[in-house]
Structure 1
Amino acid sequence: MERNNETKDVLLELVAVAFLATGGIFVKLSALPPINTGFYRVLFSIPLLLPLAFKGLKTLRKKDILILFLAGCFLAGDVALWNLSFSYTSVANANLLTNLTPFTVIPISYFLFREKIPKFFLLGAVITISGVFVLLGGKINPIESNYLGDFLAFCASFFYASFILISYRLRDRYESSVIMFASGFGSALTLGGVAMLTEGIQIPHGMGELWPLLGLTLCLQVIGHNLLAHCQGRLNVNLSAIICLCQPVIASVYSFIIFSEMLSVKEVIGIMIVMVGVYLVKVQYSNLSQTSSAH
């Protein structure tokens, strides 16, 4: 599948990231424990994704079913650790550390997929990451328990990167809905097993307990991750990973809109730096695509 890194696809992935950025809000609002919350997020998504994935399921190879199940296990690790991290650290820190996937994705994609890295790609990546740290620097007020939460969120980034790398490669053969539907079984079984051993399976009662779970299901699993997997068929994996770093930026904007939290000058500067970094990477990959086409 040809990945042309068109502007419309970059914008579409930004929409996906905007949905993913709502995750911390719904997890905080959920009355269920963290891993149970993640379990129902995935479980509820499976029947919703079936109509979208039904036609594509007929083309699934047995080997790829096993690979997608494994991808689902990796996503379950990300969901479990990310949800747990909110109990110990801030939403901003959790979003930042979980989305440090480029540190894993970029070197692995270079060696496994032979993804070309443009001359100024690392500069754009450094600018983007610096901007995220500047943005969150104004909110960081660490206490002792924050370090455990930060560590959990950081570990989640490795699981998330593994899921991204697998879905990126399979996106050459399957629609995003097929990837999310099939991997959902691996995620649901893994999260269900972990929840049973650690928290015990808890049943949500009433809309008060159901609506945050449904919000997670729709915004993250059905729309966010599904749309992100779709964009991975249109964008280079490194560019896609850098765009995902906008998630904590968007989460900060949500905090301003929903909770009336004023953005400091430092936070605004951080947002601007992140946008410059993403734009620089976009320009580099556009030039790379044009050069490849010329050959």
Structure 2
Amino acid sequence: MSIKQMSGGAGPFIALLCGAVGIGFAPILVRLSEVGPSATACYRLLLALPFFWVWMQTESSENVKRPTGLALVISGAFFAADLAVWHWSIQLTSVANATLLANFAPIFVVLGSWLIWGQRCSRSFFGAVILVLLGACLLVSASLKLDAQYLWGDALGLLTAVFYAGYMLSVARLRVQFSTVVVSLWTSLVGGGLLLLIALMTGDQIFPTTLQGWLVLVALAVISQVLGQSLIIYALAHLPTAFSSLSLLLQPVVAALLAWALFKEALGLWQGVGGMIVLLGIVLARRTESPA
């Protein structure tokens, strides 16, 4: 069955791409944060909770069933681990290496879908995965570093992809029974609590020192979590998980454009070609088949 047939229209696909744009702001806002990396990730989730709570009040009671404890903990733990390990990898390798390896999540989503549920992707879809990853490599090629001293950080970057794949697979299953806001709220609550413990144990600076510092954290929560992740969670109920994870590689393209616009970071010819290849791969994946 094609993705178009499974998606029930263009709405979920557009929501997915908008969600990718939302989380594309995350690296920029993390760079502007005045607190430590784990504390920043913690605020991203916990400051989103009031928005999710207000949203939940607008839902009918039959749509706000609480997920089971195990499913809730698994999804929140995967997301907390994804953010914590990615921020840790950035400190031990180059930002380009950490970003590239973290975006290998589609490979682990496909592998997980096959191992857990016996789902397989078509050759054409797997070709689209290869194409998108090639584009991502070109996108960060200017600052990509191959050095033995970055080996541990690179391994953590790859582990980030594993954790994000686990998060997407678990959320996709939760969305079979529960609404977007329920999954968003409880995943953020569990993940935020775990990240708070990590921030305290690692000695992160916890509180911003200026009003601008607080505004950056609120913007991160609203743009990347309330809007970005919620749109992704919504789309996961309507689109195959493997395709969704692949489409989220739009994120580094958005982040590169924002870094160019805000921080005057140079974008060379190969970065532009890489971005176009990523977009082409997503379009090709949209036209082919993939597992649910």
Bin of the TM-score, shorter chain as denominator length:
0.7 to 0.9
Q: State yes or no: 1:35 paired with 2:38.
A: yes
- Aligned match of 1:275: 279
Post-superposition offset of 1:226: 0.8
Q: Distance in 2 between matches of 1:232 and 1:224?
A: 13
Identity rate, percent? 25
Q: Distance in 2 between matches of 1:61 and 1:67?
A: 13
Post-superposition offset of 1:67: 0.9
Q: Distance in 1 between matches of 2:79 and 2:132?
A: 24
Q: Distance in 1 between matches of 2:89 and 2:13?
A: 29
Q: Is the 8 A contact 1:97 1:153 kept in 2?
A: yes
Deviations 1:2-28 (A, max 9, x none): 832644432321111111011111111
Please, what TM-score do these two structures have when normalized by structure 2? 0.88
Q: Is the 8 A contact 2:38 2:204 kept in 1?
A: no
Q: Is the 8 A contact 1:16 1:223 kept in 2?
A: yes
Post-superposition offset of 1:187: 0.7
Q: Distance in 2 between matches of 1:114 and 1:198?
A: 39
Q: Secondary structure at the match of 1:87?
A: helix
Q: 1:249 aligns with which of 253, 260, 278?
A: 253
Q: State yes or no: 1:159 paired with 2:166.
A: no
Q: Distance in 2 between matches of 1:14 and 1:69?
A: 27
Distance change (3 Å), C-alpha of 1:46 and 1:114:
same
Amino acid aligned to 1:274: V
Q: Is the 8 A contact 1:102 1:238 kept in 2?
A: yes
Equivalences for residues 196-215 of structure 1 within 5 A: 196-199=200-203, 202-215=206-219
Q: State yes or no: 1:177 paired with 2:181.
A: yes
Q: Secondary structure at the match of 1:285?
A: coil
Q: 2:20 aligns with which of 17, 21, 34?
A: 17
Q: Distance in 2 between matches of 1:260 and 1:180?
A: 34
Q: 1:284 aligns with which of 272, 285, 288?
A: 288
Post-superposition offset of 1:147: 4.0
Post-superposition offset of 1:63: 5.9
Distance change (3 Å), C-alpha of 1:264 and 1:68:
same
Q: State yes or no: 1:262 paired with 2:288.
A: no
Post-superposition offset of 1:56: 6.2
Q: State yes or no: 1:191 paired with 2:191.
A: no
Post-superposition offset of 1:189: 1.7
Distance change (3 Å), C-alpha of 1:188 and 1:56:
farther
Q: Is the 8 A contact 1:5 1:285 kept in 2?
A: no
Equivalences for residues 104-119 of structure 1 within 5 A: 104-119=108-123
Q: Secondary structure at the match of 2:91?
A: coil
Q: Distance in 1 between matches of 2:218 and 2:135?
A: 32
Structure 2 unmatched runs, 5+: none
Q: Is the 8 A contact 1:56 1:174 kept in 2?
A: no
Q: Distance in 2 between matches of 1:53 and 1:106?
A: 32
Deviations 1:164-195 (A, max 9, x none): 10101111121222101011221122111112
Q: Distance in 1 between matches of 2:244 and 2:197?
A: 31
Q: State yes or no: 1:76 paired with 2:80.
A: yes
